[in-house]
Amino acid sequence: MDEIARWSVMSEDERRHVVDIRLPERAQGDRFDLQLPERPRLLRALYPPDAAPAGPGWNHDDLVDVLAGGVSSEAAVLAGLVPRRDGTRVLLTRRNDSLRHHAGQVSFPGGRIEPADSDAAAAALRESCEEIALGARQASVLGYLDPFVTISGFRVTPVVAVIDPAFVPVPQPDEVAEVFEVPLDFLMDPGNLRSIDIDFRGRPRRVLEYAWPGQRIWGATAAILLNLRRRLEQSA
């Protein structure tokens, strides 16, 4: 650093400028989470990292008729936001076609919360490391969205985090077929979200879907993105 070499010959005003302005600016430049334009809005919209939300899930009442046994397991997913020069993008994965559950579906990295996990954020980060090789220092957790209940009986806690734009995913081939990004603006536009009717266990069920070129983003993943949009709208 040039300041170190010149420190002994600097005036008091020059030293004060380095300490009060230059060094804080440099430290901020090293923090990838501060590169996210939506960060202030998200901090207002989300539950804080040290206070994961309680409750059965914002959609629980819609699934009472298919959750005869109640919620069977707790899970967490990482809704990763990547700051790019052309705008913020959402990190998504497509599951391996050979998986027993949800094969070929688009999802956030994540999975079951294990006893060794300190909280939902720790579980989401651990699963993301296992699935796409995301390092702990390559993600900065901002907070939580509302829990969501799946038709398979999982109560899912979405963890929103900023992802280092320098991160290069390495998919675990047994679980992840593909990692891709979608512009946040596209997913937050109400005009890009639609409802479709499906048959589940002989009963009609309405689910949400985004039609992104080459990918079908639907079900729980689409619903979590809708919850993100609503919370941002409510905090505006």
Same structural domain, 111 and 220:
yes
Name 9's Cβ contacts closer than 8 Å, sequence gap at least 6: none
| Residue span of the structural domain in which 15 resides | 1-30
Closest CA to 134 of 89, 95, 77: 77
**With contact defined as beta carbons under 8 Å apart, do 150 and 156 qualify?**
yes
Same structural domain, 151 and 225:
yes
**With contact defined as beta carbons under 8 Å apart, do 81 and 90 qualify?**
yes
pLDDT of res. 82 = 97
Q: H-helix or E-strand containing 186?
A: helix 184-188
**With contact defined as beta carbons under 8 Å apart, do 135 and 216 qualify?**
no
Same structural domain, 188 and 219:
yes
pLDDT of res. 80 = 98
Same structural domain, 53 and 146:
yes
Question: What CATH number corresponds to the domain at position 53?
Answer: 3.90.79.10
Amino acid at 98: S
Same structural domain, 85 and 143:
yes
- In the chain, % helix, strand, coil (3-state, to 5) comes to 35, 30, 35
pLDDT of res. 10 = 75
Same structural domain, 155 and 220:
yes
pLDDT of res. 56 = 81
Same structural domain, 87 and 1:
no
| CA distances to 49, 69, 149, 152, 206 from 198, in Å | 35, 22, 17, 15, 6
Residue labelled with tokens 């589940």 = 200
Q: Which two tokens stand for residue 44?
A: 């207002």
Same structural domain, 24 and 83:
no
pLDDT of res. 27 = 52
Same structural domain, 16 and 61:
no
φ, ψ of residue 185 in degrees (nearest 5): -60, -40
Q: Which residues pair with 80 in a beta bridge?
A: 91, 161
Same structural domain, 74 and 184:
yes
Same structural domain, 84 and 16:
no
Same structural domain, 90 and 158:
yes
**With contact defined as beta carbons under 8 Å apart, do 71 and 169 qualify?**
no
pLDDT of res. 20 = 67
pLDDT of res. 73 = 86
Return per-residue pLDDT of the chain as tens, 236 residues: 466 667 677 788 777 766 665 655 455 556 899 999 999 999 999 999 999 998 887 676 666 666 655 666 899 999 999 999 999 999 999 988 665 555 568 999 999 999 999 999 999 999 999 999 999 999 999 999 999 888 777 889 999 999 999 999 999 988 899 999 999 999 999 999 998 766 665 566 778 999 899 899 998 999 999 999 999 999 87
Q: How many domains does the chain have?
A: 2
